[in-house]
Amino acid sequence: MSMDLDDAPVSIAPVGMQQNTATILCCNCGAAIDGTQATGALCFDCVKLTIDISAGVQRESNLQFCRDCNRWLTPPTSWVVANPESRELLALCLKKLRGLAKVRIVDASFVWTEAHSRRIKVKITIQDSVQDGVLLQQTFEVVYIVTTQQCPECAKSYTANVWRACVQVRQKVLHKRTFLFLEQLIMKHQAHRETLNIKEAKDGIDFFFSAKNQADKFVDFLNSVVPIRMKKAQELISHDTHTSKRSYKFTYSAELVPICKDDLVALPIKIAKQYGNISPLVLCHKIGTSIYLLDPQTLQTADISASIYWRAPFLGLADTQSLVEFIIMDVELTGKQNGKWRFAEVTVARAVDLGVNDKTYFTRTHLGGLLQAGDSAMGYLLEGTVFNNPEFDAMEASSVYSSTIPDVVLVKKHYPRKRRNRRRNWRLKRMAKDEGELLPKKADQERMDNEYEMFLRDVEEDEELRAALALYKNEQQEQVEEEEEMSMADSDEGVDAAPHVDMDELLDDFDELTMQDA
């Protein structure tokens, strides 16, 4: 029996059924994988085991660290500050590795290591596409060996004759009061932070810099705080004949005016007439961008700028080393006042004359608001004193000014202190200077200590001077107990009642690692 083929039954696959996909076996482990998406006949597990996407990335590297300034080398020549396990240090570590530019960094973090091991470990996670676009991720560790190397700035500070600019600050006086004041201004404004070295010199200090622009900035700072006269010189140290390039060393000579605070000054009569006909015999009550003068007989003031002073310079008549202690016998206020100064007529006697003779002096002073009968004051004794000064000789020869010369000029109130170096609740920063060959002798060291002690007393007594400086708290264990004992002694004996600095005026942070405290 025959059958018509057209009438044979046809099998139709159910809806939703799909044909079986083609599979192949992994050539490494024999696992079945999709043949249409296979990566080189390898399964995904074998791809992870056989392909290393971090093969071209360094696993070890070196980091250069300068122990003097705590900076890290960023090739080729940059030095940056980075704290341990900081973002800056992590970025520096990643930049040091070759091959990271070809992959994608997913994550990076530090692995803890001992600080003394001089090793830094970084855990890095990267991604990269391999055969036929398969994305592969891998994590590995990199070890960095920390080596020490001096940066060029620190190397120059330990090597002679590497500076390119020097600022020589000089003042031709017998004491260092203005230099002590200038030192505190430099410390407060951090004007010396770019110096290679600071060296003591005769009549001043030398500041060395590695670049001329740094010295120019320091000179601008000096011009903004003290009256100076500036001179500049340069010296050729090398010349390249092929490129016509020259290297110079620059030297700046900054000379301060030879007049300090509390000095007695005899002005030239011509200059005195130009400044409101002020008396030629005046006191210097402050040194700033100008010389600030005061006539204690009339409370008249004048300020002479540095440019005007150096046109016709003059010297001081007497400095603070010539001060004499006087005892106030009588005070009579006249009612005249100029700012913080009050005019008064006083009768004084030298402290050494008490009990010896009855000689007294009558004078006028600007300290009427501070002095009372029985107080002590420091001043200049003009009677019987011979001054080798042409301006003072011209005053004595003048019929107008000879009669106005007083016998005594009072400068400031004197506070008796029970202890010469009493313990203070504050201290000042000092610059770390290289004394070089100018090591002070024992007598010179005592004189310098006395000058510094007088400067500290001026800071305590003068609020205006104290406002321009940076004072820091003196954190010592015995301070509170000693202050209480001193206050009790003051209330009982009436001595050591000198002005003191309030704690509200003091700063907290004091860098004891780089500065020496006073």
* Residue at 505: amino acid letter: E
User: What confidence category does residue 132 fall into, taking pLDDT thresholds of 50, 70 and 90?
Assistant: low
Instruction: Please report the pLDDT score of residue 213 as a whole number.
Output: 93
Identity of the highest mean pLDDT range in 196-205, 362-371, 412-421, 468-477: 362-371
Phi and psi torsions of 454, nearest 5°: -65, -35
Tokens representing 257 are 């005016």
Q: Which residues contact 164 (CB under 8 A, 6 or more apart)?
A: 209, 210, 211, 212, 247, 248, 249, 250
* Mean pLDDT across 349-371: 90
Instruction: Please report the pLDDT score of residue 25 as a whole number.
Output: 74
Q: Regarding predicted confidence, which is higher, 503 or 330?
A: 330
Q: Regarding predicted confidence, which is higher, 161 or 339?
A: 339
User: What confidence category does residue 174 fall into, taking pLDDT thresholds of 50, 70 and 90?
Assistant: confident
User: What confidence category does residue 346 fall into, taking pLDDT thresholds of 50, 70 and 90?
Assistant: very high
pLDDT above 50: residue 105? yes
Q: Where is average pLDDT lowest: 2-11, 390-399, 475-484, 495-504?
A: 2-11
Question: CA-CA distance, 385 to 130, in Å (whole number)?
Answer: 100
pLDDT above 90: residue 518? no
pLDDT above 80: residue 516? no
Instruction: Please report the pLDDT score of residue 247 as a whole number.
Output: 85
What are the pLDDT digits (tens) for 435-465? Answer: 665 555 666 778 888 888 888 888 888 888 8
Question: CA-CA distance, 228 to 231, in Å (whole number)?
Answer: 10
Q: Give the whole-number percent of the chain exceeding pLDDT 70.
A: 82
Average pLDDT of the chain to the nearest whole number: 81
DSSP letter for each residue of 339-386? TTEEEEEEEEEEGGGTTT----EEEEESBTTT--TT-EEEEEE-TT--
Instruction: Please report the pLDDT score of residue 133 as a whole number.
Output: 66
Question: CA-CA distance, 163 to 468, in Å (whole number)?
Answer: 31
CA nearest neighbour of 413 among 471, 449, 371, 447: 371
Instruction: Please report the pLDDT score of residue 134 as a whole number.
Output: 72
Instruction: Please report the pLDDT score of residue 218 as a whole number.
Output: 94
pLDDT above 90: residue 131? no
pLDDT above 70: residue 496? no
Instruction: Please report the pLDDT score of residue 385 as a whole number.
Output: 86
Helix (H) or strand (E) holding 181: helix 177-189
What are the pLDDT digits (tens) for 5-51? Answer: 444 344 444 444 445 667 777 776 767 776 665 555 667 667 776 77
Q: Where is average pLDDT lowest: 72-76, 215-219, 295-299, 477-481?
A: 477-481
Q: Which residues contact 178 (CB under 8 A, 6 or more apart)?
A: 171, 226, 256, 260, 261, 287
- pTM exceeds 0.85, yes or no: no
Q: Regarding predicted confidence, which is higher, 35 or 502?
A: 502
User: What confidence category does residue 494 fall into, taking pLDDT thresholds of 50, 70 and 90?
Assistant: very low
CA nearest neighbour of 66 among 153, 196, 195: 153
* Mean pLDDT across 305-327: 90
Q: Establish how many alpha carbons lie within 13 A of residue 136's alpha carbon, considering only the half-sphere containing its beta carbon.
A: 22
Instruction: Please report the pLDDT score of residue 343 as a whole number.
Output: 92
Beta carbons of 32 and 24 less than 8 angstroms apart: yes
Tokens representing 83 are 């704290």
Residue 306: other Cβ atoms inside 10 A = 19
Q: Which residues contact 88 (CB under 8 A, 6 or more apart)?
A: 80, 81, 82
pLDDT above 90: residue 202? no
Beta carbons of 361 and 408 less than 8 angstroms apart: yes
Q: Regarding predicted confidence, which is higher, 243 or 478?
A: 243
User: What confidence category does residue 59 fall into, taking pLDDT thresholds of 50, 70 and 90?
Assistant: confident
Q: Give the whole-number percent of the chain exceeding pLDDT 90.
A: 32
